Amino acid sequence: MRRFQLLVVLALIAFPLFAAERGSQRRKLDPRLVPLPAEAPAPVDNPTTPEKVALGKQLFFDPRLSGNNTMSCASCHKPERWFADGIEWNKGETGVTLVRNTQTCLNVGFYSTFFWEGRAGSLEEQALGPIESEIEMNQDLEELERELNAVAGYVSQFQAVFGAKPNRKDVAKALAAYQRTLITGPSPYDRYLMGEDDALSDDAKRGLELFAGKARCVECHNGPNLTDGRFYRMGVSEEDVGRVKATGREDDRFRFRTPSLRNVAETAPYMHHGLFISLDAVLSFYYNGGADASNYDLPLDAPNLADRPTSDMQYLLAFLNSLTGTPPDFTPPKLP
């Protein structure tokens, strides 16, 4: 009888230890793989407040921000398209085609540089870019200030939030604050990292293992937003010179920022040029060693992944599909 009790006690002690060990193994998959926080950090001079976010949301959806009052941020960053647009290249207000794929505004609060080649250093700095750009919203900022000052609903909100009349600097701050709240809720991948063992299918678990292991995706796609925020020459295309335009450094030619992979299954087409229409196409690119090996910085198994079994791709695809979280509420605002 005593011996039986002893066994029970031992089992009670050992089981949680065993379970904790298994759990920690899963969570320790790679310390760089962590769930997405529920809030994005804000700069000290632009704290996120509900009133500012509400104002930023109106501005984001307001076509008054463009030269002919026909185009808003949401014309290209479509809420129902996960704040991207689902097409290769979009057109600006005057009909000029932009030769880069529209990035999503979801989870942008976790980046520290913006645009494909990282030419803006904050969301505040980024926001006036598309408004002023002749090939995007084609708006004169003086004219924008005049227009917003003629709308009583904006004048009172800017006064309440910033203590000033509508002006370009605060337009940028409000747009930035709104975008910092565009965070997707936990994906199956996040739930798995937080300990929910069956949140991922077996294929997705194998994909995660490859992602963080042999396929070495994690070398660049890591952190809460699955990007290291650095710039690589992937050999995707040589038409767009990439980061050299922002820095003037020859070594930055053809480099682009590692994009987040959050909700990536929802934001086709892919890469800065938007020419890969599916995740299958992206994976084939990786598995064929990229376009031009001499112009290529993948720290993957040499020479490339082409020798690996094609089932890898199926597993990686299942994993990429597990990165879709729940979208934030995107009911369009009532404009003043």
Q: Which residues bind ligand HEC (CB under 6 A)?
A: 65, 71, 73, 75-77, 90, 92, 98, 100, 102-103, 105, 108, 111, 114-116, 123, 126-127, 130-131, 136-137, 175, 179, 215-217, 219-221, 232, 234, 236, 256, 258-259, 261, 264, 267, 270-272, 279, 282, 286, 297-299, 316
What b/e readout covers 5-39, taking b as 16+ CB neighbours within 10 angstroms?
eeeeeeeeeeeeeeeeeeeeeeeebeeebbbbeee
C-beta of 123 vs 204, nearer to ligand HEC: 123
The closest alpha carbon to 234, from 279, 178, 301, 282, belongs to 282
At 1, the amino acid letter reads M
Give min distance, CB of 203 to ligand HEC, in A.
14
CB of 66 vs ligand HEC, minimal distance in Å: 7
Report the residue number, 36 or 123, with the smaller CB distance to ligand HEC. 123
- Closest CB 12 distance from ligand HEC, rounded Å: 43
Q: Which is nearer to ligand HEC, 12 or 303 (CB)?
A: 303
- Give min distance, CB of 326 to ligand HEC, in A: 19
CA distances from 61 to 73, 75, 135 (A): 6, 8, 19
Rg (CA), the chain: 23
Q: How far is the CB of 271 from ligand HEC (least distance, A)?
A: 4
Closer Cβ to ligand HEC, 131 or 199, answer by number:
131
Shortest approach of ligand HEC to residue 46 CB, angstroms? 14
Count CA atoms closer than 13 A to 184's CA, side-chain side: 29
| Nearer residue to ligand HEC within complex by CB, 22 or 230 | 230
Q: How far apart are CA 334 and CA 64, in angstroms?
A: 14
Cα separation, 323 vs 263, in Å, equals 5
Quote the least distance from Cβ 22 to ligand HEC, whole Å. Answer: 26
Instruction: Tell me the C-alpha distance between 127 and 60, whole Å.
Output: 10
Name the residue nearer to ligand HEC (CB basis): 162 or 287. Answer: 287
Question: Is the bond leading into 35 cis (omega within 30 degrees of zero)?
Answer: no
CA-based end-to-end distance of the chain = 79
Of 124 and 190, which has the nearer Cβ to ligand HEC?
A: 124
Can you say whether the dihedral through the CA atoms of 124, 125, 126, 132 is positive or negative?
A: positive
